[in-house]
Structure formats: C-alpha cells, structure tokens
Structure 1
Amino acid sequence: MVAMERRDPEQDERLRSEIWEALYDFFMAEHERNLEAVAELGVSPGDLKALMRLAPGRGEPMRALADMWRCDASTVTWIVDRLQKQGYVERRPHPTDRRVKVVALSAEGEELRERMLRRLYRPPAVLSELSPGELAALHRVAARLAPPADQ
C-alpha cells in the first residue's frame, strides 16, 4: 500500500510563491541580458517585440499588430515606419482587401530575427553550474510549464 503524502495548503502556497519570485527575478535579469545582447545589433526593446511577433513568410494587418502588441494604432505605425526605414519590414497590399496593408518581414528582417533568436536562446551561464541530474529535473519541469502550442 502506498502512503499518502500529507499536504499543508499554506506551506504549498508559500513554496509556490517563493518559486515564482525566484523564477520571475531570474527571468527579469535574463531579459535585461537579452536587451543588451540585441542592442548590440541596433535593436531597441520595441523593435525586439515587433520583430519577434512577426512570423517569417507571413504578413499581418496593422490592426492585428496593434492587438498582438497591445498598443494603439499610432504606436504600430511609428514602429513599422522605423523598421521599414531600416529595411527590416515591408508594407504590402492585403491579398484579398485592397484597403488594408499588411506588414511583413523583409529578407533583411528575417535574417536579423534569426540572429536575434540565436542570441536570445543562448543559455545563461548559470545553467552550466547545474549538475546533469539538476538539468534533467529542470528540463522535465520546464516541459510541463511550457504554454500550449496554440498560444
């Protein structure tokens, strides 16, 4: 017979809070490292968000970008104007609605996005300090925490 584990809801909540605080602080520190890494490529935080949300080979209407980036249309226009001036995005006609313009990554923008991803996905040095067992455990937990593919 398997012994049942006793659970203390308050202790569980404290533990979840401590874990989340540590993870959040870690991610914020890594976010700063990432901003510095892409700044070396001449990419601002706003550019980073835009370039990460534009999928290669697909155009997005300006209104959809405003919704996706959670900002107003004038901010999207400003960001797209800057990225277009740098040669990273192009405005194209919508395939079925001539009143709508879509924004798509240019070939240069796709190449920059790929370089950014290589920098952003470079593992932080602290992971090299973990043992193989710790890495395996972290990998299992991280896989369970990953958002569903449709998000």
Structure 2
Amino acid sequence: MSEQAASRVWQRMRALVLEQHDRRREVCAELGMSFIKVKALRRIARGPLTMRELTEQLSTDKPYTTLVVDYLERRGLVERSVHPDDRRCKIVTVTAAGQAASKVAEGIINEPPSVILELPPAELAALDRTVAKLAVD
C-alpha cells in the first residue's frame, strides 16, 4: 500500500471516530462534566491511583489534577485517602456512585455507531481482523 493510501485510510479512520461518531459530547452531557473529568473517573474506576499516577495517566499537571479530583470528590464520585506506606501521597478511590457513573460513561463510549453495526458479517470480521493487527493492548 502506498503512503498516499495509508494517509487516506488514516484520515478516514480519524474522521469516523473523532468527527462523525465522537461520543465525548454525549457522555459529557449525560454526566454533566467535562471530558477530562470523565476520563479521570474512568481511570480511577479501574482501580485506586495515587495523585501522581493519575496525573501521569491524564497527561496533566499536578494542580490541574487536583482541581479535577476536587470536583469528582465534591460530586461524591471519588474519595481521597492517605497512602498507607507514604503519608505524603494521596490515593484516589472510586465510590459506588462513581463506579455507576463510570459504567454509564463506558456504555456510551463503547457503543458502536450504526455504520459499524450495519456492516455485513464478512466485512465486520475483516475489519475486526485488521483493527486487531493495529491495536496495542
């Protein structure tokens, strides 16, 4: 495949995911928060994180991560506690309400668009194989 064809495929993939079927607005509206806060909640819902780990995963700076966690904590979606081995560190843990909100977000974000659902089985299987080769777990 030529570089031109690869570029065309990449542009179409980006448009499909980020423009035509971007779920970020939908999830933000449903949960009433910005996408960075949704992203933080989803990360914390996977398991407790230190503030440093969350900062790294979000690619934000420490003060901004603190603002995000403050917001999530005020909404009752996460809790902060002192790290058992290092009192200088805080651990952020999801609450039951946060876990429920994270599941709502996951459901919205992971819902395939109709253009994928409507593909014939053979084409869907071929697309699945192709994407599996490209994906990094």
State the distance in 1 between where 2:64 and 2:21 align: 22
Say yes or no: does 1:129 pair with 2:118. yes
Q: CA deviation at 1:94?
A: 0.6
Report the CA distance between 1:78 and its aligned residue: 0.5
User: In the alignment, which residue of structure 1 is the partner of 2:10?
Assistant: 20
The answer to whether the 8 A contact 2:82-2:89 is kept is: yes
> Structure 1 unaligned runs (5+)?
1-10
Q: Is 1:102 aligned to residue 91 of structure 2?
A: yes
Query: Alignment partner for residue 46 of structure 1, among 36, 41, 44?
Result: 36
Contact 1:30 1:124 in 2 (8 A): no
Note the aligned Cα RMSD (angstroms): 1.7
Relative to structure 1, is the Cα distance of residues 31 and 103 closer, same or farther in structure 2, using a 3 angstrom cutoff? farther
User: How much has 1:122 moved relative to structure 2?
Assistant: 1.1
Task: Return the index of the structure with the highest Cα Rg.
Answer: 1
Q: Does 1:92 align with 2:81?
A: yes
Structural mapping, 1:10-89, within 5 Å: 12-29=2-19, 32-56=22-46, 58-89=47-78
- State the distance in 2 between where 1:47 and 1:144 align: 31
Q: Which stretch of structure 1 is more off in the superposition, 77-86 or 21-30?
A: 21-30
Three-state SS of the structure 2 residue aligned to 1:103 is strand
Which stretch shows the higher mean deviation, 80-89 or 121-130? 121-130
Report the 3-state secondary structure (helix = DSSP H, G, I; strand = E; otherwise coil) of the residue aligned with 2:23.
helix
Aligned residues: 137
Question: Runs of at least 4 residues of structure 1 off by over 6 A?
Answer: none
Point out where structure 2 has 5 or more consecutive residues left out of the alignment: none
Query: Offset of 1:31 from its aligned partner?
Result: 5.8
| Number of the residue aligned with 1:5 | none
1:43-81 Cα offsets, whole Å, 9 max, x none, are 32121111122243x321112211111111110110000
Identity over aligned pairs, percent: 38
